[in-house]
């Protein structure tokens, strides 16, 4: 079983890896994005019995282990694995989701808040365009993504503060 944790891994879910939230363990785990903290790197982890099937040269990579990327990845992991860091991500994610849920409860055209850790989404009825909300939020200094016609995705940095979340919620509320 292969899990792609390119987006969800390295703390995004509030755990080091998202699979840890579901009580299953993959045979192979793919990583990138968050691993380098903005420096391009890719990696995969495999159980010993699976890894034993690979010979040197069997697997190539565009963003493999160059010294700069590896140093960046080690530094990112040092920070992510500091006492309390992942607990803080989980806490901020739960707070953010609760604040999004308040919008669902308050506005009939806000349908659902969902997600895990600091990977969240807000779905609107067909009366609200996620692209329009995205552009209006951009004008207010927020970068969010319209992933579907009526769905916004939020992927704040793991060091986001509750005050930043509150500012975004207030901006969303003004638009709604």
Strands (E), 6-163: 28-31, 43-46, 110-116, 119-124, 145-148, 151-154
Contact between 31 and 44 (Cβ < 8 Å):
yes
Q: What is the pLDDT of residues 44-61, one digit of tens each?
A: 899 999 999 988 877 777
Per-residue confidence (pLDDT) for residue 63, from 0 to 100: 67
Per-residue confidence (pLDDT) for residue 55, from 0 to 100: 86
| Residue given tokens 């969800």 in the structure block | 8
Per-residue confidence (pLDDT) for residue 57, from 0 to 100: 79
Q: Which domains does the chain have, with CATH numbers?
A: 2-80 (no CATH), 86-175 (3.90.1150.10)
Per-residue confidence (pLDDT) for residue 17, from 0 to 100: 96
Length of the chain, please? 176
Per-residue confidence (pLDDT) for residue 113, from 0 to 100: 98
Residues of the chain short of pLDDT 70, as ranges, are: 63-64
């Amino acid at each position: 079983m292969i899990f792609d944790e390119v987006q969800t891994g390295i703390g995004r879910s509030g755990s080091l890896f998202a699979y840890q939230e579901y009580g299953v363990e993959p045979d192979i785990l793919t990583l990138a994005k968050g691993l380098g903290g903005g420096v391009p790197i890719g990696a995969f982890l495999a159980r010993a019995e699976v890894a034993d099937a690979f010979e040197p040269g069997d697997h190539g990579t565009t963003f493999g282990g160059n010294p700069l990327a590896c140093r960046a990845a080690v530094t990112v992991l040092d920070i992510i694995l500091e006492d309390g860091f992942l607990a803080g991500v989980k806490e901020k994610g739960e707070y953010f989701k609760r604040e999004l849920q308040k919008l669902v409860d308050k506005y009939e055209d806000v349908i659902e808040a969902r997600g895990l850790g600091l990977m969240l989404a807000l779905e609107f009825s067909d009366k609200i365009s996620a692209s329009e909300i995205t552009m209006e939020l951009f004008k207010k200094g927020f970068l969010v993504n319209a992933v579907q016609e009526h769905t916004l995705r939020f992927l704040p940095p793991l060091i986001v503060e509750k005050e930043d979340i509150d500012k975004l919620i207030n901006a969303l509320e003004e638009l709604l």
